[in-house]
């Protein structure tokens, strides 16, 4: 049975991914499928040492993917790149002291102001907003505040286009105040652009992508 702590952790990771990996997906060539331990290592190293790049698919489509910088991870952890590769493939597990250090670093990256500020700086260095708008898709328990029906909020998914400046302010809110500040800022933007007095009880998933000028594939209430 899911607990409040589980929900808080899921929302924390959801917001972190939305802020860190704008318009990207995991690089399919990145290892990390060699068992539970390898997947755990990959999850934490992706949090700490993710980098983005543009690739061209066999069909000629360009897309941005997120991968782990094995060189950065190796340097920070005092091991060889080959060792990091073996961890991700599941050929070898980190020592307990090393794994504890990786988990601690990943936790600090999300739960401390200094860690969040460092992650936002890294995201800015790795990313560029590919368009004049940023499309935000938010899933979770949410809805407009209605004094006559305080239970109007329900699980739903909405899409809204926001400006690059608003997206940057969203990241800054997260860096300075964490999950609560980021959610409150998002509520203020959605209240202005989507529906008045929009409230978010919990975010279960959130996707962020750049939008080319003229793209109108969003909610009818979205700004043009």
Number of domains in the chain: 2
C-beta atoms surrounding 198 within 10 Å: 22
Tens-of-pLDDT digits for all 224 residues of the chain? 545 556 676 777 788 777 776 555 555 555 444 455 557 888 888 878 877 777 787 888 776 677 888 999 999 999 999 999 999 988 889 999 999 999 888 888 888 898 888 888 887 877 766 667 888 899 988 998 765 665 577 899 999 999 989 999 999 999 999 989 999 999 999 999 988 889 998 888 888 875 543 444 445 444 33
pLDDT at 118: 85
H helix intervals, the chain: 4-20, 36-49, 70-77, 81-89, 96-111, 113-126, 164-193
Distance of alpha carbon 141 from the chain centroid:
19
Residue carrying the six token digits 């990313």: 127
Indicate whether 110 and 154 sit together in one domain: no
pLDDT at 71: 93
Domain final residue, candidates 97, 126, 155: 126
pLDDT at 183: 92
pLDDT at 166: 93
Indicate whether 89 and 166 sit together in one domain: no
Indicate whether 117 and 97 sit together in one domain: yes
pLDDT at 148: 60
Structural domain boundaries, residue 184: 1-21+130-224
pLDDT at 222: 40
Distance of alpha carbon 29 from the chain centroid:
20
Please, are residues 159 and 135 in contact by the beta-carbon 8 Å criterion?
yes
Element (H, E) at 21: none
pLDDT at 83: 95
Domain final residue, candidates 85, 103, 126: 126
Q: Which two tokens stand for residue 66?
A: 């997120």
Indicate whether 31 and 115 sit together in one domain: yes
Domain final residue, candidates 126, 142, 158: 126
């Amino acid at each position: 049975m899911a607990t409040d702590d589980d929900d808080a952790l899921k929302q924390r990771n959801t917001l972190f991914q939305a802020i860190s990996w704008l318009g990207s997906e995991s690089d399919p060539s990145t290892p990390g499928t060699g068992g539970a331990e390898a997947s755990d290592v990959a999850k934490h190293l992706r949090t700490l040492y993710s980098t983005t790049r543009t690739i061209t698919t066999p069909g000629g489509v360009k897309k941005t993917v997120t991968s782990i910088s094995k060189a950065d991870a190796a340097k920070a952890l005092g091991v060889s790149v080959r060792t990091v590769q073996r961890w991700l493939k599941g050929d070898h597990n980190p020592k307990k002291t090393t794994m504890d250090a990786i988990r601690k670093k990943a936790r600090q990256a999300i739960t401390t102001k200094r860690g969040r500020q460092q992650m936002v700086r890294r995201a800015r260095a790795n990313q560029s907003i590919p368009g004049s708008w940023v499309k935000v898709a938010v899933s979770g328990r949410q809805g407009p505040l209605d004094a006559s029906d305080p239970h109007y909020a329900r699980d739903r998914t909405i899409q809204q286009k926001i400006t690059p400046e608003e997206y940057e302010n969203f990241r800054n809110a997260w860096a300075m105040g964490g999950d609560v500040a980021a959610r409150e800022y998002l509520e203020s933007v959605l209240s202005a652009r989507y529906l008045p007095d929009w409230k978010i009880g919990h975010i279960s998933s959130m996707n962020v992508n750049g939008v080319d000028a003229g793209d109108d594939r969003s909610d009818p209430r979205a700004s043009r």
